[in-house]
Amino acid sequence: MKSLSTPKTSDLSLPSGSYIYSLRPASDCLAAISSDDSLRAFDPETLKLRPGGVLEHVHEGVTCIKSIDAEGKTLATGGRDGAIRCWDLRSGKKVAEFEAGNANASILSLDCSPHRGTIAAGTELAHSQAALIMWDIRSSVKPQLLYVESHNDDITELQFHPTDRSLLLSGSTDGLVNIYNTNITEEEDALHQIINHGSSIHFAGFLNELDIFALSHDESLSMYQLANPDKDVEEPSPTIFGDVRTKLNCEYIGGVLRTTEGAVIGAGSHRYTHQGNASMLALALNHFSKQQLELITLRRAPEWRFDETSNIRLQGAHGDDIIRSIYADERHNVIYTGGEDGHVRAWKPPEDIQDLETGGTVKTSGKLRDRTLKDGRFKPY
């Protein structure tokens, strides 16, 4: 167990009471979207805002952010206003805009494929349709693809395959994880694989060319494999962990990070309770909470299992606030977290920890259909 504490911290000059929803790497900085509907670019070393680094009101209710190009010079954001907007961080200008067209349904998920020059968006359920839409980044006039029949509830996750860019994964609150061959226009024919996870999808994605994970809003985790196109080959049985909160001694899962060996799970706790006055959640989980985020390795050798011998503990985490986003900078060996306290924190782990590849973003679970807080802030999944 390696325990990290006293991280660098910054509020990015956000208004009081703001949440940080998501952190993303850019060309020479990091970017954050937050509940004040801004996009903020800041220096990864000092955590100070870049000159001209605050883009105000990028949406009426910003929800998600992704990089469009491999260099991270342009970022795409989605919002409750049904729009996807692309931003050049060097000039601070909007360079493209796409409209969902599904009665301006909220955009809940995004992914981009720089190699194909495409951007994909998933919408909330509106007028009995949850739409998966793809555009050519160079032309925002008309979508390349529109799939509206495969999910019957909000599309909360999208991810292109790491090597076969024609394959696109989607996850939804209907409990399904779908894999599409986006070279095929007809939706029924495009469905390469349907995975019934059984409960509302919080996170899902490819860990490598073959392995797929799915984590539900009730923190149930399962591992699957990409189906072989040869129909005579039987699909392997999934590895089902169930609700991992008790097993990992935590209150929520703050993210899933891909690694060279599998994944790292961000197991978070944010309510500190004394033994004589335990919260109902702590009692239900049969432990007394600590304020921390623990990064726990999940690897397959040969079966999927948690390896807790090399855990990294971010002591104190974000206090009694939930961590919404985790990004691991492998090159500089730093872990960044953003939370409901409106702060970004940079944690410097020991020099021998260098296998975290990609960041994960919390879409906080809770009452799934009520995504607006009392003060009007968007509540991601």
pLDDT in tens, 279-328: 555 545 444 458 999 999 999 988 999 998 889 999 999 999 999 999 99
368, pLDDT greater than 50: no
Q: Report the half-sphere exposure of 256 (CA within 13 A, side-chain side).
A: 24
Measured CA to CA in angstroms, residue 136 lies from 68, 121, 302 at distances of 11, 12, 40
Q: What is the DSSP string of 110-128?
A: EEEETTTTEEEEEE--BTT
Between the ranges 138-152, 199-213, 342-356, where is the mean pLDDT highest? 199-213
Dist. CA 158–CA 147, nearest whole Å: 13
Q: Which residues pair with 120 in a beta bridge?
A: 111, 134
Is the link from the previous residue into 350 a cis peptide, with omega within 30 of 0? no
pLDDT confidence of residue 66: 96
338's tokens: 């953003």
Query: What whole-number percentage of the chain has pLDDT above 70?
Result: 85
Dist. CA 166–CA 152, nearest whole Å: 23
173, pLDDT greater than 70: yes
- Mean pLDDT for the stretch of residues 97-119: 88
